[in-house]
Amino acid sequence: MNSLLKKLRALSYEARIRILWLATAVAAIILIIVFQSFFRFDKIAPNFAQNDLVESIKAGAQNMQEGLSQLKNELANTPSSLLDLPADYRAAALNGFYTTPEKTLVVNFSAQNPSLDILNFLNTDRDNIILKDGDAEIKASKILTSGQELFPNKILSKENVIGQIIFSLPKNNNLTVIFSDLFFESKPDVKFQETLEIDLTKAAQEIKNALPRE
């Protein structure tokens, strides 16, 4: 039950509402059937109600009811606005950058979603992040987490993910990292972009707590 609740919490608010109503209806039907059966068997065979299997079924039904009540309470305490974002919210912020002897530019960044919705950060092809180098556009060769794993396409509710983008070494010093086609699942038609400005004439930088925090 705990693992199921964790998976449900990872879904968007609207998806959880739909699942809650469906699960409540199914649970109600099951509970009615189970308790009617107990009532009938108590009349016919009183000792049957003391059977271990019956007790296990009762316990399972009780756990289901408690789990649904917990989820219902969480949703009841959820604000009506999923996108209650800070005025200075940025989907991505610069944490630092440096060049390597392998002639690459490494950009450290943070992606944050303080909302109750799910932020779609990378598209299916993972090619919506580019480095603007004058008139040229350089695609990212790798987009990883700080643990050197593939960066997630979606940023879940209240989640902050530290990442790293690797580009081939640009020709110019003044650069712009562009994150395009970002959107929240509750508003898939409202897409936006984020930009990070980089000046390679400056020494390698390490910026802490670049994103707004609650």
- Written as tens digits, the pLDDT of the chain (214 aa) is 556 655 655 665 556 666 666 666 666 677 667 666 655 555 555 555 455 555 666 666 666 666 666 655 654 554 445 677 888 899 999 999 999 999 999 999 999 999 989 999 999 999 999 999 999 999 999 999 999 999 999 999 999 999 999 999 999 999 999 999 999 998 899 999 999 999 998 865 544 434 443 3
Euclidean distance between CA atoms 66 and 104, whole angstroms: 54
Residue 184 tokens, joined: 């929240």
Euclidean distance between CA atoms 136 and 55, whole angstroms: 69
Task: Choose among 159, 121, 116, 86: nearest CA to 15.
Answer: 116
Task: Choose among 78, 84, 162, 168: nearest CA to 121.
Answer: 162
